[in-house]
Structure formats: C-alpha cells, structure tokens
Amino acid sequence: MEVVTTVAAVRERVRLWRAEGSRVALVPTMGNLHAGHLSLLAAARSRADRVITSVFVNPLQFGPAEDFAAYPRTLDEDERLLREAHCDLLFAPPVAEIYPEGGAQATMITVRGLSGILCGQFRPGHFAGVATVVAKLFNIVTPDVAVFGEKDYQQFIIIRRMTSDLLLPVEIIGAPTVRAPDGLALSSRNRFLSPADRAVAPAIYHALRAAVERLEAGDRDFIGIESGGWQALAVAGLRPDYFAVRDAVDLQAPRAPSRELVVLTAVRLGKARLIDNLRLALLR
Ligand code: PAF
C-alpha cells in the first residue's frame, strides 16, 4: 500500500491506474478505523480494481464546542489495518492540503432541506462541512464509486443527493452498519464511553428495534412511536437529541407513498454523542 499526503500524488496515482483501465473506489474516513470501516473497504474492493482510503479529520464539520481536538487520531494503527485489508492507497493529507486558504473556506455546499433537520438541528453547519469535504475528495480522487457507512444515514442521504444534484459521476454505495454482539453500532466515538456508559449504550439499539417492531406490526402512530423511543432512552439514562420515524429516501415525515421507513436517533451519553438507525421496508 502506498501512503501519500498530497493532492498531486493522489492524482498522479489515479492517472496511472486509469491508463491501465482500472476502476477506482474511494472510502472516505476520519481514521481511528474499526471493523465498520473495514466492511466499507470490503464493499469497495468488490466493486473496483483499486481502493483508496482517505483519513482526514475534517475541521469544517466540527462546531466550535465539538470534539475536533479530542477526536481520536491513530494513523499508524490505521495504516497497519489498511495494509492488512489490502487497501491500495492511503491518502492522509494535512489540513493545509485540503484547505490551502486556511480557515477561510468561501465555497460551501449546502444540501437544502436535508442539512438542517435531525442531526443538522443540533450540529449547525456540520453537514455543509461534510458535503464540502466529500466534494473536495471526489474532485481529488475522481473515484468511480465511493462507499459510506449507513450508520451515518443522514450523511449518506445528503452525499447521495449532493452527488446527484451536482451531476458528479460517482456511484454512491451505502454499507450496512456493523454492530457489537450486544447491538451497539461500532463507532470511533464509542471510545469516549466509560465502562458504565458502555453497559447502558445498547439501549439505543433496543429502542430502535422496539420502534421497528411496532411499525412491522402495522402501528402507524408515528408520534406515539417517537415518544415511546424517547422515553425508553431517557429511562435507560441516555439523553436523546431526537428519536424520529422518517421516509428512508428523503428523511421527511412518512406519508402514503413511503415504501421504506427509517427510525433514527441521536443520544448523548457521558462524553459521547452517538447516532444510530434502523430501516424497514413497508409491505404493500
Ligand atoms: O463519516 C465520516 O467519517 C466523515 O463524515 C467523512 C464522510 C469522512 C467526511 O469527513
């Protein structure tokens, strides 16, 4: 695996691969890789001849009071895992390579209607930071396909919409959430949990499952399901930002033509803010 830190080096490598006729996949990450990321890599590998993983903790997507400084940075370990997973190229740029103008990023991408809801309400500017950096990464790598985790479901929907709105020639693939045996979704932020917090964290998955079971049983009292989920989380000692049932395609309220629903939640637990979701198809 080659490790590069500059835009020019990535572009040159991709140019050579293209000349051989190779199909290129990108797995964008912020590092601190775990089994969830490795599943994205496997999905990328099955769709392309060459796989690039980017490791970049993007300052633009963190609010002033958020965990940018504390976000775990484990590049040596990430590099080791990526070598084992047969990644072809690791792109780990310094901040100045992605933001050469310093903190002043005059051009931002906002996916209207999707960026301000759910997590966007609690993390203003977060999704504009994500969409902007992903567009930059697409511009640098020019991948044929890019893989994102469905744990960050709102992010996945936003990137898919941005890619389609901007006519970017990149196929966007969502890879299923990887869970611990007790149901907790794997996340780099799980390392912020104390042992006591970690013990109660599976309540997130249980609350989502209970909501999905009600929906599967035909219950369409969405408000009741949302408040039931909220209550279950609060009783377990978590502090939900939201617990919502939405149309899985556009994240708006469920309505008659909705074919697939998603139940999403974000909770605060100790020092961590955790997100998770479960989807279900509606039988017609
Ligand atoms: O999901 C993440 O790790 C990040 O939001 C992403 C997509 C790499 C953009 O910084």
Tell me whether residue 37 is one of the annotated catalytic residues.
Answer: yes
Are 158 and 130 in contact by the 8 Å Cβ rule? The answer is yes
Q: Does 37 share its domain with 80?
A: yes
**Predicted TM-score (pTM) above 0.75:** yes
For residue 104, the model assigns a pLDDT of 74
Are 11 and 119 in contact by the 8 Å Cβ rule? The answer is no
State in Å: Cα 61 to ligand 1 middle.
Answer: 9
3-class secondary structure for 142-185? CCCEEEEECCCHHHHHHHHHHHHHCCCCCEEEEECCCECCCCCE
> What's the CATH number where 210 sits?
3.30.1300.10
State in Å: Cα 118 to ligand 1 middle.
Answer: 17
Ligand 1, from 127, 134, 275: best to mutate by most atoms within 8 Å of Cβ? 134
Nearest alpha-carbon partner for 156 in 169, 168, 144, 174: 174
How far is the C-alpha of 207 from the C-alpha of 238, rounded, in Å? 11
State in Å: Cα 234 to ligand 1 middle.
Answer: 28
Q: How many domains does the chain have?
A: 2
* Predicted confidence band of residue 284 (pLDDT cuts 50, 70, 90): low
Q: Which atom of ligand 1 is nearest to the CA of 188?
A: 3
State in Å: Cα 28 to ligand 1 middle.
Answer: 6
Q: Does 168 share its domain with 238?
A: no
- In the chain, % of residues over pLDDT 70: 100
Q: Please report whether residue 44 resides in a domain.
A: yes
Which residue has 């930071």 as its token pair?
129
Which run of H or E residues covers position 77? helix 75-84
Of 37, 86, 126, 206, which one is the catalytic site residue?
37
Q: What angle do CA 20, 38, 142 make, to 5 degrees?
A: 35
Q: Which tokens in the block code for residue 239?
A: 């502090």
Report, as an integer, the average pLDDT of 62-79.
Answer: 94
Contacts 24+ apart (CB under 8 A), 253-262: 253/222, 254/220, 254/222, 258/282, 259/284, 261/215, 262/153
Q: Residue 16: give the domain boundaries.
A: 2-175
* Predicted confidence band of residue 100 (pLDDT cuts 50, 70, 90): very high
Segment 174-216, tens digit of pLDDT: 999 999 999 999 999 999 999 999 999 999 999 999 999 999 9
119-147 core/surface letters (b: 16 or more CB in 10 A; e: else): bbeebebbbbbbbbbbbbbbebbbbbbbb
Q: Ligand 1 site: residues with CB under 6 angstroms?
A: 28-30, 58, 61, 130, 133-134, 152, 155
Q: Does 131 share its domain with 228?
A: no
* Predicted confidence band of residue 2 (pLDDT cuts 50, 70, 90): very high
Domain end among 124, 154, 175: 175
Q: Please report whether residue 182 resides in a domain.
A: no
For residue 283, the model assigns a pLDDT of 74
Q: Please report whether residue 89 resides in a domain.
A: yes
Report, as an integer, the average pLDDT of 218-229.
Answer: 97
Report, as an integer, the average pLDDT of 119-146.
Answer: 98
Query: What are the residues facing 148 on neighbouring strands?
Result: 174
* Beta-carbon-side half-sphere exposure of residue 181 (alpha carbons within 13 Å): 0
Please say if the pLDDT value at position 69 is more than 90: yes
